[in-house]
Structure 1
Amino acid sequence: MHITAHYEEQYLSLMRSIWTEGAVQRDRTGVGTKALFGATMRFSLADDAIPLLTTKRVYWKTAAREMLWFLTGDTNIQPLVQQNVKIWTDWPLARYRRETGEDITQDAFEQRIVEDDGFAAQWGDLGPVYGAQWVNWPRYEATDNGLFRRAEKGIDQVSLLVESLKNNPGSRRHIIEGWNVAELDQMALPPCHKTYQFHVADNILSCILFQRSCDLGLGFAFNAFSAALLTRMLAAVCGYKAGELIWQGGDVHLYLNHAPLVEEQLSRTPSGNPKLKLLRTPDSIFDFRIDDFEVSDYQPQSHISAPVAV
Protein backbone atom coordinates (compact mmCIF):
# COMPACT_ATOMS: atom_id res chain seq x y z
CA MET A 1 0.00 0.00 0.00
CA HIS A 2 1.42 3.37 -1.05
CA ILE A 3 1.17 6.07 1.61
CA THR A 4 1.34 9.63 0.31
CA ALA A 5 3.52 11.96 2.35
CA HIS A 6 1.75 14.79 4.12
CA TYR A 7 2.02 18.06 2.19
CA GLU A 8 3.77 19.72 5.14
CA GLU A 9 6.69 17.28 5.08
CA GLN A 10 8.33 19.27 2.27
CA TYR A 11 8.20 22.39 4.45
CA LEU A 12 9.77 20.61 7.42
CA SER A 13 12.40 19.08 5.13
CA LEU A 14 13.35 22.53 3.83
CA MET A 15 13.44 23.92 7.37
CA ARG A 16 15.72 21.07 8.45
CA SER A 17 18.04 21.62 5.47
CA ILE A 18 18.38 25.32 6.18
CA TRP A 19 18.98 24.78 9.89
CA THR A 20 21.63 22.11 9.36
CA GLU A 21 23.24 23.16 6.08
CA GLY A 22 22.38 26.83 5.55
CA ALA A 23 25.05 29.49 5.29
CA VAL A 24 25.17 31.93 8.20
CA GLN A 25 24.62 35.43 6.87
CA ARG A 26 24.47 38.95 8.12
CA ASP A 27 21.21 40.55 7.10
CA ARG A 28 19.40 43.87 7.01
CA THR A 29 17.99 43.43 10.53
CA GLY A 30 21.33 42.67 12.18
CA VAL A 31 19.90 39.51 13.76
CA GLY A 32 21.60 37.07 11.39
CA THR A 33 20.18 34.11 9.50
CA LYS A 34 20.88 30.68 8.15
CA ALA A 35 19.88 30.65 4.49
CA LEU A 36 19.67 28.61 1.32
CA PHE A 37 19.15 30.08 -2.13
CA GLY A 38 16.44 28.63 -4.34
CA ALA A 39 13.64 26.34 -3.15
CA THR A 40 10.37 25.00 -4.54
CA MET A 41 7.31 23.41 -2.93
CA ARG A 42 4.05 22.28 -4.51
CA PHE A 43 0.66 22.15 -2.82
CA SER A 44 -2.56 20.76 -4.24
CA LEU A 45 -5.62 23.02 -4.01
CA ALA A 46 -7.97 20.39 -5.43
CA ASP A 47 -11.09 19.43 -3.47
CA ASP A 48 -10.82 22.54 -1.25
CA ALA A 49 -7.34 21.59 0.04
CA ILE A 50 -5.45 24.48 1.65
CA PRO A 51 -1.75 24.45 2.67
CA LEU A 52 -2.15 25.48 6.30
CA LEU A 53 0.71 24.33 8.50
CA THR A 54 -0.44 21.83 11.11
CA THR A 55 2.73 21.64 13.23
CA LYS A 56 1.81 25.04 14.67
CA ARG A 57 -1.30 27.17 14.66
CA VAL A 58 -1.62 29.59 11.75
CA TYR A 59 -4.04 32.45 12.34
CA TRP A 60 -5.50 32.20 8.87
CA LYS A 61 -8.14 34.90 9.38
CA THR A 62 -5.36 37.41 9.96
CA ALA A 63 -3.76 36.38 6.65
CA ALA A 64 -7.14 36.55 4.91
CA ARG A 65 -7.83 40.05 6.25
CA GLU A 66 -4.41 41.14 5.01
CA MET A 67 -5.15 39.76 1.53
CA LEU A 68 -8.49 41.60 1.41
CA TRP A 69 -6.63 44.76 2.48
CA PHE A 70 -4.11 44.33 -0.34
CA LEU A 71 -6.97 44.17 -2.83
CA THR A 72 -8.33 47.52 -1.64
CA GLY A 73 -5.06 49.19 -2.62
CA ASP A 74 -4.81 50.76 0.83
CA THR A 75 -1.34 51.18 2.33
CA ASN A 76 -2.27 52.52 5.76
CA ILE A 77 -2.33 50.13 8.72
CA GLN A 78 -5.40 51.78 10.27
CA PRO A 79 -8.04 49.45 8.74
CA LEU A 80 -5.89 46.46 9.70
CA VAL A 81 -5.43 47.55 13.31
CA GLN A 82 -9.16 48.28 13.51
CA GLN A 83 -9.64 44.57 12.78
CA ASN A 84 -7.02 43.65 15.40
CA VAL A 85 -4.50 42.72 12.69
CA LYS A 86 -1.12 43.91 13.93
CA ILE A 87 1.32 42.21 11.57
CA TRP A 88 2.34 45.50 9.90
CA THR A 89 2.65 47.67 13.01
CA ASP A 90 6.36 47.09 13.62
CA TRP A 91 7.56 49.19 10.69
CA PRO A 92 5.59 52.42 11.26
CA LEU A 93 6.12 52.06 15.01
CA ALA A 94 9.88 51.88 14.51
CA ARG A 95 9.74 54.95 12.27
CA TYR A 96 7.66 56.87 14.83
CA ARG A 97 10.06 56.05 17.66
CA ARG A 98 13.07 56.92 15.50
CA GLU A 99 11.74 60.24 14.23
CA THR A 100 10.07 61.50 17.42
CA GLY A 101 12.29 59.97 20.08
CA GLU A 102 9.16 58.94 22.00
CA ASP A 103 9.41 55.50 23.58
CA ILE A 104 5.75 54.71 22.98
CA THR A 105 4.43 51.21 23.59
CA GLN A 106 2.99 49.24 20.70
CA ASP A 107 -0.44 49.15 22.35
CA ALA A 108 -0.47 52.92 22.82
CA PHE A 109 0.70 53.50 19.25
CA GLU A 110 -2.00 51.21 17.84
CA GLN A 111 -4.67 52.87 19.97
CA ARG A 112 -3.73 56.25 18.52
CA ILE A 113 -3.75 54.79 15.00
CA VAL A 114 -7.30 53.53 15.55
CA GLU A 115 -8.70 56.59 17.29
CA ASP A 116 -6.92 59.49 15.57
CA ASP A 117 -7.31 59.71 11.80
CA GLY A 118 -4.77 62.50 11.54
CA PHE A 119 -2.19 60.53 13.49
CA ALA A 120 -2.90 57.46 11.35
CA ALA A 121 -2.50 59.49 8.17
CA GLN A 122 0.88 60.80 9.33
CA TRP A 123 2.33 57.71 10.95
CA GLY A 124 0.34 54.70 9.75
CA ASP A 125 1.18 54.72 6.06
CA LEU A 126 3.64 52.14 4.77
CA GLY A 127 4.40 53.77 1.44
CA PRO A 128 3.44 52.19 -1.91
CA VAL A 129 3.55 48.55 -0.73
CA TYR A 130 1.73 45.54 -2.18
CA GLY A 131 -1.81 46.82 -2.65
CA ALA A 132 -0.70 50.09 -4.21
CA GLN A 133 1.26 48.23 -6.88
CA TRP A 134 -1.40 45.58 -7.42
CA VAL A 135 -4.29 47.92 -8.17
CA ASN A 136 -2.73 51.35 -8.72
CA TRP A 137 0.70 50.93 -10.35
CA PRO A 138 1.71 54.50 -11.28
CA ARG A 139 1.40 55.67 -14.84
CA TYR A 140 2.19 59.06 -16.29
CA GLU A 141 0.46 61.28 -18.86
CA ALA A 142 2.01 63.76 -21.25
CA THR A 143 1.30 67.43 -20.56
CA ASP A 144 2.43 70.60 -22.31
CA ASN A 145 6.04 71.35 -23.18
CA GLY A 146 7.12 67.73 -23.14
CA LEU A 147 6.39 67.31 -19.43
CA PHE A 148 4.60 64.44 -17.73
CA ARG A 149 2.37 64.20 -14.71
CA ARG A 150 1.21 61.25 -12.70
CA ALA A 151 -2.21 60.05 -13.82
CA GLU A 152 -4.99 60.14 -11.26
CA LYS A 153 -5.66 56.43 -11.75
CA GLY A 154 -2.83 53.94 -12.09
CA ILE A 155 -2.75 50.47 -13.62
CA ASP A 156 -5.06 47.96 -11.94
CA GLN A 157 -3.13 44.72 -12.42
CA VAL A 158 -5.73 42.66 -10.58
CA SER A 159 -8.61 43.73 -12.82
CA LEU A 160 -6.47 43.17 -15.89
CA LEU A 161 -5.58 39.72 -14.58
CA VAL A 162 -9.23 38.76 -14.06
CA GLU A 163 -10.08 39.99 -17.56
CA SER A 164 -7.25 38.00 -19.15
CA LEU A 165 -8.04 34.85 -17.17
CA LYS A 166 -11.63 35.00 -18.37
CA ASN A 167 -11.06 36.04 -21.97
CA ASN A 168 -7.61 34.73 -22.86
CA PRO A 169 -6.97 31.73 -20.59
CA GLY A 170 -4.11 30.40 -22.73
CA SER A 171 -2.03 33.53 -22.17
CA ARG A 172 1.39 33.27 -20.59
CA ARG A 173 1.06 36.78 -19.18
CA HIS A 174 -1.28 36.21 -16.24
CA ILE A 175 0.96 38.07 -13.79
CA ILE A 176 0.69 40.36 -10.78
CA GLU A 177 4.01 42.09 -10.09
CA GLY A 178 4.86 44.05 -6.95
CA TRP A 179 8.49 44.94 -7.63
CA ASN A 180 8.25 48.54 -8.82
CA VAL A 181 11.90 49.56 -8.96
CA ALA A 182 11.08 53.27 -9.08
CA GLU A 183 9.26 53.17 -5.74
CA LEU A 184 11.19 50.64 -3.66
CA ASP A 185 12.85 53.34 -1.58
CA GLN A 186 9.44 54.72 -0.57
CA MET A 187 8.19 51.41 0.83
CA ALA A 188 8.38 50.42 4.49
CA LEU A 189 9.43 47.00 3.21
CA PRO A 190 10.00 46.07 -0.45
CA PRO A 191 7.74 43.22 -1.52
CA CYS A 192 8.90 39.79 -0.42
CA HIS A 193 6.15 37.85 -2.21
CA LYS A 194 6.78 39.82 -5.35
CA THR A 195 5.53 37.90 -8.39
CA TYR A 196 2.37 35.85 -8.92
CA GLN A 197 1.88 34.01 -12.21
CA PHE A 198 -1.30 32.11 -13.01
CA HIS A 199 -1.93 29.34 -15.50
CA VAL A 200 -5.12 27.82 -16.91
CA ALA A 201 -5.27 24.30 -18.32
CA ASP A 202 -8.33 22.06 -18.69
CA ASN A 203 -10.43 24.62 -16.82
CA ILE A 204 -8.08 24.44 -13.82
CA LEU A 205 -6.31 27.51 -12.41
CA SER A 206 -2.88 27.18 -10.79
CA CYS A 207 -0.47 29.73 -9.37
CA ILE A 208 3.27 30.14 -9.04
CA LEU A 209 4.33 32.53 -6.30
CA PHE A 210 7.94 33.73 -6.34
CA GLN A 211 9.32 35.22 -3.15
CA ARG A 212 12.65 37.01 -3.35
CA SER A 213 12.99 36.63 0.43
CA CYS A 214 11.20 34.24 2.77
CA ASP A 215 11.31 34.03 6.54
CA LEU A 216 10.50 30.34 6.62
CA GLY A 217 9.86 30.26 10.35
CA LEU A 218 7.28 33.05 10.51
CA GLY A 219 6.35 34.52 7.15
CA PHE A 220 5.91 31.44 4.98
CA ALA A 221 2.80 30.15 6.74
CA PHE A 222 0.94 33.37 5.89
CA ASN A 223 2.43 33.70 2.40
CA ALA A 224 1.42 30.20 1.30
CA PHE A 225 -2.08 30.46 2.74
CA SER A 226 -2.62 33.91 1.20
CA ALA A 227 -1.45 32.82 -2.26
CA ALA A 228 -3.68 29.76 -2.08
CA LEU A 229 -6.60 31.92 -0.96
CA LEU A 230 -6.06 34.40 -3.80
CA THR A 231 -5.93 31.51 -6.27
CA ARG A 232 -9.19 30.13 -4.93
CA MET A 233 -10.84 33.56 -5.11
CA LEU A 234 -9.70 34.08 -8.69
CA ALA A 235 -10.79 30.60 -9.71
CA ALA A 236 -14.24 31.19 -8.27
CA VAL A 237 -14.72 34.58 -9.90
CA CYS A 238 -13.40 33.37 -13.26
CA GLY A 239 -15.30 30.08 -13.31
CA TYR A 240 -12.38 27.67 -12.90
CA LYS A 241 -11.44 24.89 -10.53
CA ALA A 242 -8.35 25.39 -8.37
CA GLY A 243 -5.36 23.23 -9.22
CA GLU A 244 -2.04 23.80 -7.53
CA LEU A 245 0.06 26.37 -5.71
CA ILE A 246 3.73 26.21 -6.66
CA TRP A 247 5.82 28.19 -4.20
CA GLN A 248 9.32 29.34 -5.13
CA GLY A 249 11.75 31.08 -2.81
CA GLY A 250 14.93 32.96 -3.58
CA ASP A 251 16.69 33.68 -0.29
CA VAL A 252 14.94 31.29 2.10
CA HIS A 253 16.11 31.78 5.65
CA LEU A 254 15.64 31.15 9.35
CA TYR A 255 16.63 33.78 11.89
CA LEU A 256 19.29 32.74 14.35
CA ASN A 257 17.17 33.94 17.28
CA HIS A 258 14.38 31.57 16.20
CA ALA A 259 16.21 28.44 17.39
CA PRO A 260 13.47 27.47 19.90
CA LEU A 261 10.80 27.83 17.19
CA VAL A 262 12.75 25.77 14.67
CA GLU A 263 13.68 23.00 17.03
CA GLU A 264 10.17 22.72 18.47
CA GLN A 265 8.56 22.64 15.05
CA LEU A 266 11.00 20.06 13.69
CA SER A 267 10.12 17.80 16.61
CA ARG A 268 6.46 17.72 15.58
CA THR A 269 4.66 15.46 13.10
CA PRO A 270 2.15 17.00 10.66
CA SER A 271 -1.35 15.59 10.49
CA GLY A 272 -4.77 16.36 9.11
CA ASN A 273 -5.99 17.82 5.83
CA PRO A 274 -7.69 21.19 6.34
CA LYS A 275 -10.21 22.46 3.81
CA LEU A 276 -11.11 25.98 2.71
CA LYS A 277 -14.64 26.62 1.52
CA LEU A 278 -15.83 29.77 -0.19
CA LEU A 279 -19.31 30.34 1.16
CA ARG A 280 -20.13 33.01 -1.42
CA THR A 281 -18.73 34.06 -4.78
CA PRO A 282 -19.27 37.77 -5.44
CA ASP A 283 -19.37 39.25 -8.92
CA SER A 284 -16.03 41.01 -8.38
CA ILE A 285 -12.72 39.83 -6.94
CA PHE A 286 -12.79 43.02 -4.86
CA ASP A 287 -16.07 42.20 -3.11
CA PHE A 288 -15.05 39.20 -1.03
CA ARG A 289 -15.55 39.57 2.73
CA ILE A 290 -13.89 37.77 5.62
CA ASP A 291 -17.06 35.84 6.41
CA ASP A 292 -17.02 34.35 2.89
CA PHE A 293 -14.20 32.01 4.00
CA GLU A 294 -14.56 28.92 6.14
CA VAL A 295 -11.74 26.60 7.17
CA SER A 296 -12.68 23.15 8.42
CA ASP A 297 -10.83 20.05 9.60
CA TYR A 298 -7.99 22.21 10.87
CA GLN A 299 -6.64 20.92 14.17
CA PRO A 300 -3.12 22.28 14.47
CA GLN A 301 -0.67 21.81 17.26
CA SER A 302 -0.06 24.73 19.60
CA HIS A 303 1.16 28.14 18.47
CA ILE A 304 4.91 28.77 18.54
CA SER A 305 5.83 32.40 19.14
CA ALA A 306 8.99 34.09 17.92
CA PRO A 307 10.14 37.72 17.54
CA VAL A 308 9.84 39.55 14.23
CA ALA A 309 13.07 41.04 12.87
CA VAL A 310 12.35 44.57 11.63
Structure 2
Amino acid sequence: MSWFRRGAAVLVASAAALATALVSPGAADAALTGGPHADGTVVATFPAGSFPESLALVGGVPYVSLGFAGQVVRVTHGAATTVTTVDVGDTSLLTGVAVVGDRLYVARASFGGDQGELYSAPLTGGAPSLEATFDGSFPNGLALHDGLLYVSESLGGSVYTFDPASRQVQPWCQNAALAGGKDFGINGITFRRGTLYGVVAATGEIVTIAGGPGGCTVTPVVRSQQLVTGDGIAFGPDGLLYVAVNQTNKLVSVDLATGSVSTIAGRSEGLSYPTQMAFIRGALYLTNGAFSSGTPRLLRFPLD
Protein backbone atom coordinates (compact mmCIF):
# COMPACT_ATOMS: atom_id res chain seq x y z
CA MET A 1 0.00 0.00 0.00
CA SER A 2 1.40 3.43 -0.92
CA TRP A 3 2.29 6.08 1.65
CA PHE A 4 -0.66 8.04 0.26
CA ARG A 5 -3.13 5.38 1.43
CA ARG A 6 -1.61 4.65 4.82
CA GLY A 7 -3.56 7.31 6.60
CA ALA A 8 -5.23 10.63 6.07
CA ALA A 9 -2.45 12.52 7.80
CA VAL A 10 0.13 11.42 5.24
CA LEU A 11 -1.88 13.08 2.48
CA VAL A 12 0.23 16.17 3.06
CA ALA A 13 2.54 17.53 0.33
CA SER A 14 2.80 21.18 -0.68
CA ALA A 15 2.99 24.22 -2.86
CA ALA A 16 4.45 27.50 -4.32
CA ALA A 17 3.86 31.35 -4.27
CA LEU A 18 4.22 34.66 -6.14
CA ALA A 19 3.46 38.34 -7.10
CA THR A 20 4.46 41.82 -8.11
CA ALA A 21 6.82 43.41 -5.57
CA LEU A 22 7.13 39.89 -4.22
CA VAL A 23 10.26 37.81 -4.53
CA SER A 24 8.54 34.49 -4.97
CA PRO A 25 9.32 30.91 -5.83
CA GLY A 26 10.45 31.05 -9.44
CA ALA A 27 10.98 34.82 -9.54
CA ALA A 28 14.70 34.97 -8.90
CA ASP A 29 16.26 38.37 -8.30
CA ALA A 30 18.56 39.12 -11.22
CA ALA A 31 21.05 40.79 -8.86
CA LEU A 32 21.67 37.53 -7.02
CA THR A 33 24.62 35.34 -7.86
CA GLY A 34 25.33 31.77 -6.89
CA GLY A 35 23.26 29.19 -5.06
CA PRO A 36 22.64 28.52 -1.38
CA HIS A 37 25.12 26.65 0.76
CA ALA A 38 24.41 24.45 3.72
CA ASP A 39 24.94 26.65 6.75
CA GLY A 40 21.39 27.80 7.36
CA THR A 41 20.07 29.72 10.35
CA VAL A 42 16.70 29.57 12.09
CA VAL A 43 14.50 32.60 11.32
CA ALA A 44 11.45 31.49 13.31
CA THR A 45 10.12 28.46 15.16
CA PHE A 46 6.43 27.53 14.97
CA PRO A 47 4.18 25.49 17.31
CA ALA A 48 4.60 21.73 17.23
CA GLY A 49 2.24 20.11 14.73
CA SER A 50 1.43 23.38 12.95
CA PHE A 51 3.12 22.17 9.72
CA PRO A 52 4.59 25.19 7.86
CA GLU A 53 3.61 24.30 4.31
CA SER A 54 4.39 27.19 1.98
CA LEU A 55 5.70 30.74 1.97
CA ALA A 56 5.89 33.98 0.03
CA LEU A 57 8.28 36.89 0.54
CA VAL A 58 6.85 40.39 0.28
CA GLY A 59 9.42 43.16 0.51
CA GLY A 60 11.68 40.72 2.31
CA VAL A 61 9.00 39.78 4.86
CA PRO A 62 8.04 36.07 4.95
CA TYR A 63 4.40 35.02 4.95
CA VAL A 64 4.02 31.35 5.92
CA SER A 65 1.00 29.05 5.74
CA LEU A 66 0.73 26.80 8.81
CA GLY A 67 -1.15 23.89 7.27
CA PHE A 68 -2.71 22.11 10.23
CA ALA A 69 -3.09 25.28 12.31
CA GLY A 70 -5.18 26.86 9.53
CA GLN A 71 -3.21 30.10 9.73
CA VAL A 72 -1.10 32.31 7.55
CA VAL A 73 1.45 34.20 9.61
CA ARG A 74 3.81 37.12 8.98
CA VAL A 75 7.32 36.67 10.36
CA THR A 76 9.17 39.78 11.58
CA HIS A 77 12.18 39.80 13.91
CA GLY A 78 11.72 36.08 14.52
CA ALA A 79 8.13 36.44 15.73
CA ALA A 80 5.02 35.20 13.92
CA THR A 81 1.86 37.33 13.73
CA THR A 82 -1.37 35.81 12.41
CA VAL A 83 -2.60 37.44 9.20
CA THR A 84 -5.68 35.27 8.69
CA THR A 85 -7.21 32.01 9.94
CA VAL A 86 -9.17 29.47 7.89
CA ASP A 87 -11.21 26.71 9.51
CA VAL A 88 -9.50 23.48 8.44
CA GLY A 89 -11.19 21.16 10.93
CA ASP A 90 -9.79 17.63 11.11
CA THR A 91 -9.97 16.80 7.41
CA SER A 92 -8.08 19.57 5.61
CA LEU A 93 -5.06 21.84 5.72
CA LEU A 94 -3.73 25.03 4.17
CA THR A 95 -1.27 24.61 1.30
CA GLY A 96 0.01 27.19 -1.21
CA VAL A 97 0.22 30.85 -0.26
CA ALA A 98 0.54 33.82 -2.63
CA VAL A 99 0.22 37.59 -2.70
CA VAL A 100 -1.46 39.58 -5.47
CA GLY A 101 -1.49 43.32 -4.94
CA ASP A 102 -2.65 44.02 -1.40
CA ARG A 103 -4.28 40.63 -0.84
CA LEU A 104 -2.98 37.34 0.41
CA TYR A 105 -4.26 34.11 -1.20
CA VAL A 106 -4.11 30.65 0.36
CA ALA A 107 -5.42 27.26 -0.78
CA ARG A 108 -7.28 24.83 1.45
CA ALA A 109 -6.82 21.17 0.50
CA SER A 110 -8.98 18.33 1.77
CA PHE A 111 -8.07 14.76 2.58
CA GLY A 112 -11.72 14.15 3.46
CA GLY A 113 -12.83 14.23 -0.17
CA ASP A 114 -14.69 17.57 -0.25
CA GLN A 115 -13.88 20.35 -2.72
CA GLY A 116 -10.67 22.27 -2.41
CA GLU A 117 -10.92 26.02 -1.91
CA LEU A 118 -9.04 29.27 -2.42
CA TYR A 119 -9.31 32.07 0.13
CA SER A 120 -8.03 35.63 0.26
CA ALA A 121 -7.51 38.17 3.03
CA PRO A 122 -6.04 41.67 3.29
CA LEU A 123 -2.25 41.52 3.44
CA THR A 124 -2.44 43.69 6.55
CA GLY A 125 -4.62 41.07 8.24
CA GLY A 126 -8.30 40.20 8.51
CA ALA A 127 -10.96 37.56 8.04
CA PRO A 128 -10.64 35.27 5.00
CA SER A 129 -13.03 35.46 2.03
CA LEU A 130 -13.84 32.38 -0.04
CA GLU A 131 -12.74 33.16 -3.59
CA ALA A 132 -13.11 29.88 -5.48
CA THR A 133 -13.74 26.15 -5.27
CA PHE A 134 -12.18 23.42 -7.37
CA ASP A 135 -13.44 20.13 -8.74
CA GLY A 136 -10.48 18.38 -7.16
CA SER A 137 -9.97 18.18 -3.42
CA PHE A 138 -6.26 19.03 -3.21
CA PRO A 139 -5.29 22.45 -4.65
CA ASN A 140 -1.64 22.73 -3.78
CA GLY A 141 0.91 24.87 -5.62
CA LEU A 142 0.26 28.48 -6.68
CA ALA A 143 2.08 30.52 -9.33
CA LEU A 144 1.31 33.95 -10.80
CA HIS A 145 1.66 34.80 -14.48
CA ASP A 146 0.15 37.62 -16.54
CA GLY A 147 -2.36 38.47 -13.83
CA LEU A 148 -3.64 34.92 -13.35
CA LEU A 149 -3.04 32.55 -10.47
CA TYR A 150 -2.22 29.03 -11.63
CA VAL A 151 -3.23 26.31 -9.17
CA SER A 152 -1.98 22.72 -9.23
CA GLU A 153 -4.39 20.03 -8.02
CA SER A 154 -2.34 17.10 -6.80
CA LEU A 155 -4.88 14.28 -6.76
CA GLY A 156 -6.53 14.71 -10.14
CA GLY A 157 -3.40 15.80 -11.96
CA SER A 158 -4.82 19.15 -13.02
CA VAL A 159 -3.87 22.81 -13.29
CA TYR A 160 -6.49 25.55 -12.98
CA THR A 161 -6.35 29.29 -13.51
CA PHE A 162 -7.97 31.82 -11.21
CA ASP A 163 -8.51 35.45 -12.24
CA PRO A 164 -8.34 37.67 -9.13
CA ALA A 165 -10.16 40.45 -10.99
CA SER A 166 -13.18 38.42 -12.12
CA ARG A 167 -12.90 35.63 -9.52
CA GLN A 168 -13.36 33.09 -12.30
CA VAL A 169 -11.83 29.61 -12.19
CA GLN A 170 -11.02 27.83 -15.46
CA PRO A 171 -9.57 24.34 -16.04
CA TRP A 172 -6.28 24.87 -17.86
CA CYS A 173 -4.73 21.43 -18.04
CA GLN A 174 -5.69 17.91 -17.04
CA ASN A 175 -3.29 15.23 -18.15
CA ALA A 176 -2.51 11.69 -17.05
CA ALA A 177 1.17 12.63 -16.86
CA LEU A 178 0.30 15.00 -13.99
CA ALA A 179 -1.64 12.42 -11.98
CA GLY A 180 0.04 10.32 -9.31
CA GLY A 181 -2.26 7.32 -9.20
CA LYS A 182 -2.31 6.34 -5.51
CA ASP A 183 0.24 9.04 -4.68
CA PHE A 184 0.47 12.79 -5.30
CA GLY A 185 0.86 13.95 -8.86
CA ILE A 186 1.65 17.55 -9.82
CA ASN A 187 2.81 19.46 -6.76
CA GLY A 188 4.99 22.59 -6.80
CA ILE A 189 4.72 24.86 -9.85
CA THR A 190 6.58 27.97 -10.96
CA PHE A 191 7.05 30.12 -14.06
CA ARG A 192 10.28 30.98 -15.80
CA ARG A 193 10.40 33.07 -18.97
CA GLY A 194 6.72 32.44 -19.57
CA THR A 195 6.93 28.65 -19.22
CA LEU A 196 5.21 26.78 -16.42
CA TYR A 197 7.36 24.16 -14.69
CA GLY A 198 6.10 21.58 -12.22
CA VAL A 199 7.29 18.60 -10.21
CA VAL A 200 5.29 15.38 -10.30
CA ALA A 201 5.83 13.95 -6.82
CA ALA A 202 4.93 10.34 -7.59
CA THR A 203 7.32 9.94 -10.52
CA GLY A 204 10.12 12.35 -9.61
CA GLU A 205 9.68 14.21 -12.89
CA ILE A 206 10.23 17.86 -13.69
CA VAL A 207 7.87 18.80 -16.51
CA THR A 208 6.87 21.83 -18.54
CA ILE A 209 3.16 22.42 -19.09
CA ALA A 210 1.74 24.35 -22.03
CA GLY A 211 -1.98 25.05 -22.32
CA GLY A 212 -4.04 26.11 -25.29
CA PRO A 213 -7.44 25.94 -26.99
CA GLY A 214 -6.78 22.38 -28.16
CA GLY A 215 -5.73 21.11 -24.75
CA CYS A 216 -2.42 21.02 -22.93
CA THR A 217 0.97 19.49 -23.53
CA VAL A 218 3.11 18.03 -20.74
CA THR A 219 6.80 17.62 -21.60
CA PRO A 220 9.18 15.72 -19.29
CA VAL A 221 12.48 17.53 -18.71
CA VAL A 222 14.22 15.56 -15.95
CA ARG A 223 13.30 12.36 -14.14
CA SER A 224 15.17 11.16 -11.06
CA GLN A 225 14.47 8.91 -8.09
CA GLN A 226 15.97 11.71 -5.99
CA LEU A 227 12.99 13.91 -6.92
CA VAL A 228 10.26 11.48 -5.83
CA THR A 229 8.02 13.27 -3.26
CA GLY A 230 9.24 16.60 -4.63
CA ASP A 231 7.25 19.42 -3.08
CA GLY A 232 7.81 23.15 -3.56
CA ILE A 233 10.05 24.36 -6.39
CA ALA A 234 11.78 27.63 -7.30
CA PHE A 235 14.40 28.81 -9.76
CA GLY A 236 17.54 30.17 -8.17
CA PRO A 237 19.65 33.09 -9.40
CA ASP A 238 22.15 30.55 -10.77
CA GLY A 239 19.53 29.26 -13.21
CA LEU A 240 19.11 25.94 -11.40
CA LEU A 241 15.75 24.64 -10.26
CA TYR A 242 15.54 24.03 -6.51
CA VAL A 243 13.24 21.35 -5.11
CA ALA A 244 12.18 20.58 -1.54
CA VAL A 245 11.99 16.78 -1.42
CA ASN A 246 9.84 16.28 1.63
CA GLN A 247 10.03 12.56 2.46
CA THR A 248 13.79 12.29 2.06
CA ASN A 249 14.32 15.54 4.02
CA LYS A 250 16.42 17.23 1.34
CA LEU A 251 16.81 20.51 -0.50
CA VAL A 252 18.22 19.73 -3.94
CA SER A 253 19.17 21.63 -7.07
CA VAL A 254 18.46 20.38 -10.58
CA ASP A 255 20.41 21.33 -13.69
CA LEU A 256 17.72 21.10 -16.35
CA ALA A 257 20.32 21.07 -19.13
CA THR A 258 22.21 18.02 -17.86
CA GLY A 259 19.65 16.38 -15.59
CA SER A 260 22.07 16.31 -12.66
CA VAL A 261 20.62 16.52 -9.14
CA SER A 262 22.72 17.82 -6.24
CA THR A 263 21.89 17.84 -2.53
CA ILE A 264 22.23 21.27 -0.89
CA ALA A 265 21.00 20.48 2.62
CA GLY A 266 19.49 17.58 4.52
CA ARG A 267 18.99 16.07 7.95
CA SER A 268 22.32 17.35 9.27
CA GLU A 269 21.16 20.92 8.53
CA GLY A 270 17.93 20.34 10.45
CA LEU A 271 15.65 19.53 7.51
CA SER A 272 12.61 17.43 8.34
CA TYR A 273 9.93 17.29 5.64
CA PRO A 274 10.92 20.56 3.88
CA THR A 275 8.09 22.04 1.85
CA GLN A 276 8.80 25.31 -0.01
CA MET A 277 11.55 27.79 -0.70
CA ALA A 278 11.78 31.39 -1.94
CA PHE A 279 14.78 33.46 -2.98
CA ILE A 280 15.50 37.04 -2.03
CA ARG A 281 18.64 39.14 -2.24
CA GLY A 282 21.42 37.22 -0.53
CA ALA A 283 19.41 34.25 0.73
CA LEU A 284 17.06 31.33 0.24
CA TYR A 285 14.24 30.90 2.75
CA LEU A 286 12.87 27.41 3.37
CA THR A 287 9.87 26.13 5.32
CA ASN A 288 10.65 23.05 7.40
CA GLY A 289 7.36 21.17 7.77
CA ALA A 290 8.51 18.72 10.47
CA PHE A 291 5.60 16.47 9.59
CA SER A 292 6.46 13.48 11.82
CA SER A 293 9.67 14.58 13.54
CA GLY A 294 11.92 17.57 13.94
CA THR A 295 10.93 21.16 14.64
CA PRO A 296 8.62 23.29 12.43
CA ARG A 297 10.75 26.24 11.39
CA LEU A 298 11.54 28.86 8.82
CA LEU A 299 15.18 28.52 7.78
CA ARG A 300 17.48 30.90 5.93
CA PHE A 301 20.40 29.75 3.78
CA PRO A 302 22.89 32.37 2.52
CA LEU A 303 23.89 32.42 -1.13
CA ASP A 304 27.48 31.87 -2.24
For normalisation by structure 2, the TM-score amounts to 0.31
For normalisation by structure 1, the TM-score amounts to 0.30
Indicate the structure whose relative CO is greater, using CA pairs within 8 Å and at least 6 residues apart. Answer: 1
Structure 1 or 2: more strand by fraction:
2
Structure 1 or 2: more helix by fraction:
1
Report which of the two structures shows the higher radius of gyration computed on alpha carbons: 1
